[in-house]
Structure 1
Amino acid sequence: MTEIDRRRLLAGTAAGAAGTLAAASTHPAAAAHPQPGAKVLRTPERRFAGLPDYPFEPHYLRVGLGDGSRTTVRMHYLDERPAWPVRASGETILLLHGNPSWSYLYRHVIPPLVAAGHRCVALDLVGMGKSDKPTDRFRYTYQQHLDWLTEAVFERLDLRDVTMVCHDWGGTLGLRLLAEHPHRFRRVVAMNTGLKTGREDLPAEGWMHLATWLQFTQRTNPLILSDVVADFTTSELDPAVLAAYDAPFPDDRYQHGARRFAVLIPLTPHDEATPAFEAAWEVLETLELPFLCVFGEDDHVTGGRHEALSGRIPGAAGQPHTVLTDAHHFLQEDKPDEVAAAIDDFIRRTRP
């Protein structure tokens, strides 16, 4: 099978997309949960009742579905701010999660940052967490995720002078957001993430097999997303915490967003997304704004090596990049206090 054939296989066809959408709307369990419409699923709120260590008030905004219709998608976010007697620092921290997590990942990082005087805004990407889940799996493209994020952060929330904290896919999206809107940011903290263009050495065949399996085992191989989190933390997570990571996904119809992320990584220089990634790097390689890497020593993706970012972005020069010991990919689970302390220290050292 040629590379083009594999890409077509993963991308699917419009007919396939229509079939998926029709199947979702006629699924026998469809009537069991209140849904906002045939194009979008919404996880029932009862799934999130009693989550451990997640007392935060939910907030919602709406963004366009992106299919040319007037359909909108509801995005969930947290907006935690210091209350008296804590003096506000005037800093806004945007926390972006990756796959297959959601804002729950930051539940132990947010409180110490708020206690330090910072405002914390943590979004759930579309298809994840408490945000809506489009039923058309082909709606989840890299550009659509970026469009949703751009509309939410800059048009709906109108965030400015932002400290971006980005992990995993939150960085792969957030670094493009930074490159396209650098004037909106003060500094960046990148955690176990990167921005691949397709020109790097990647296990392309292995990644392709994984992506293919994720797309074509729907309804035949249940995807237990909490297993991914459990496998890539050094600490043993409580069953209630693992259940919280599964809460957004009552069944496979809700998992299209999580399954599709693996397809979106450029594997070769011929990938259709490569030019946009390379254009982003042209900007990132000129940015002087402070840039810090906080990586996990045991991360299976990076092995704690952050030079692909810290060695190319000018604002990263001379910063106290941190590699946390006994921390795996989900370092917010393994070392939340150290993560929060690194962010707060970085903000205080680089304040104008």
Structure 2
Amino acid sequence: MTTLTDHLIVDGARVAYREGGSGEPVVFIHGTPSHSYEWREVVPHVEAAGHRTLTYDLLGYGLSERPAHRDTSVAAQSDLLGQLLDALGLDRVSLVAHDIGGAVALRFALAYPGRVRRLMVMDSVSYDSWPSATWRRIIDEDLDDHAAMPQEAFDDLLTRQLTMTVADKSLMTGDVLRAYLAPHASRLGRASFFEHQVRHYDSRYTEEITDRLGGLTLPVRILWGAEDEWQPVRYAERLRDDIPGAELVVIPGAGHFLMEDAPGRVVREVIDFLASGGEEDTEGSPGPAR
């Protein structure tokens, strides 16, 4: 299990992170409602395979600072990623990104193509795919009144949502469920969840880059859970078709948090992708699903 061990001030805000291993650097970007805990079964194996890893909590998430009145949209998180890499002396990296982290990574790769060696996106928000129907209802009903929500009601709401992230519902119970709920186990945590996460569930951040996806020339692998209840596979197929040379891998029996449903398969796909070539693999037609 990986635990964030260090903190760094980036653009005036504190970011919690962890570096490990040695070799070619790869950055893991988590999604929502989540934090870097989701990579605990993946990162150690990637390090063992000979890679330097960087895992961090997005601003407003997990152990990172939750500053009031700070933009924590995927656009702002993409800018912050560049500053974090600068602060750590990382010029060119591979990115492995999940959910909204996928949007952060796609925006970063489009803005700074020379800084990204390879890009893997997992069950990423894209196009007009988000917020999902259940999140849209929460935005409509609870976003402006969240301060009055008791902790028990909040836990029930988030538990219902987290249960939707896995195909095997028994996986989102016990210690695992508690770990996903833990960052929000306070009044500040609840407020931060709505203000730093839910308030920025906005598809304009992905729709505004749709016409630019064809300009990506780096190796891209799209990893998707076949039973994702929030991001249907048709969005993965659309990404594959719009990104030149992109390969789509659909994992049966996995949901939106595919690293919970199928951690071993995710590890194998990540290590295999990172072992593939760099620029020499950037040409070619879109790869088939497999």
Q: TM-score, normalised by structure 1?
A: 0.69
- In 1, Cα distance between equivalents of 2:137 and 2:115: 38
- Aligned position for 2:218: 289
**Are residue 242 (structure 1) and residue 242 (structure 2) matched?**
no
Q: Which amino acid aligns with 1:150?
A: G
Kept in 2, the 8 Å contact 1:135–1:254? The answer is no
- Aligned position for 2:194: 259
Kept in 1, the 8 Å contact 2:131–2:202? The answer is no
Kept in 2, the 8 Å contact 1:287–1:313? The answer is yes
**Are residue 76 (structure 1) and residue 16 (structure 2) matched?**
yes
- Please, which runs of 5 or more residues in structure 1 have no aligned partner? 1-52, 65-71, 83-89
Kept in 2, the 8 Å contact 1:77–1:121? The answer is yes
Q: Which amino acid aligns with 2:114?
A: H
Shift of 1:232: 1.6
- Aligned position for 1:195: 126
Aligned residue for 1:293, secondary structure, equals strand
Q: Which amino acid aligns with 1:80?
A: G
**Are residue 314 (structure 1) and residue 247 (structure 2) matched?**
no
- Please, which runs of 5 or more residues in structure 2 have no aligned partner? 281-290
Q: Which amino acid aligns with 1:60?
A: H
**Are residue 332 (structure 1) and residue 265 (structure 2) matched?**
no
**Are residue 144 (structure 1) and residue 79 (structure 2) matched?**
no
- In 2, Cα distance between equivalents of 1:219 and 1:203: 21
Shift of 1:207: 5.7
For structure 1, which segment, 163-172 or 209-218, has the greater mean C-alpha deviation from structure 2 after superposition?
A: 209-218
**Are residue 61 (structure 1) and residue 8 (structure 2) matched?**
yes
**Are residue 113 (structure 1) and residue 46 (structure 2) matched?**
yes
**Are residue 156 (structure 1) and residue 83 (structure 2) matched?**
no
Q: Which amino acid aligns with 2:254?
A: A
Change (3 A) 1:143 1:246: same
Kept in 1, the 8 Å contact 2:24–2:51? The answer is yes
- In 2, Cα distance between equivalents of 1:205 and 1:59: 37
- In 2, Cα distance between equivalents of 1:228 and 1:124: 20
Shift of 1:219: 3.0
Kept in 2, the 8 Å contact 1:194–1:308? The answer is no
Whose helix fraction is larger, Structure 1's or Structure 2's? 2
- In 2, Cα distance between equivalents of 1:291 and 1:350: 11
Can you list the C-alpha shifts for 1:184-210, whole angstroms capped at 9, x where unaligned?
Answer: 0111111001332xxx47789876443
Runs ≥4 residues deviating over 4 A: 200-208
Aligned residue for 1:233, secondary structure, equals coil
Aligned residue for 1:132, secondary structure, equals coil
Kept in 2, the 8 Å contact 1:126–1:257? The answer is no
Provide the aligned length of Structure 1 versus Structure 2.
Answer: 270
Q: Which amino acid aligns with 1:338?
A: R
Q: Which amino acid aligns with 2:72?
A: Y
Q: Which amino acid aligns with 2:214?
A: E
Q: Which amino acid aligns with 2:20?
A: E
- In 2, Cα distance between equivalents of 1:201 and 1:285: 19
- In 2, Cα distance between equivalents of 1:204 and 1:347: 31
Change (3 A) 1:115 1:256: same
- Aligned position for 2:57: 124
- In 1, Cα distance between equivalents of 2:110 and 2:67: 27
Kept in 2, the 8 Å contact 1:297–1:324? The answer is yes
Kept in 2, the 8 Å contact 1:141–1:264? The answer is yes
Q: TM-score, normalised by structure 2?
A: 0.83
Change (3 A) 1:206 1:346: closer
RMSD, matched Cα: 2.6
Kept in 1, the 8 Å contact 2:184–2:193? The answer is no
Change (3 A) 1:119 1:264: same
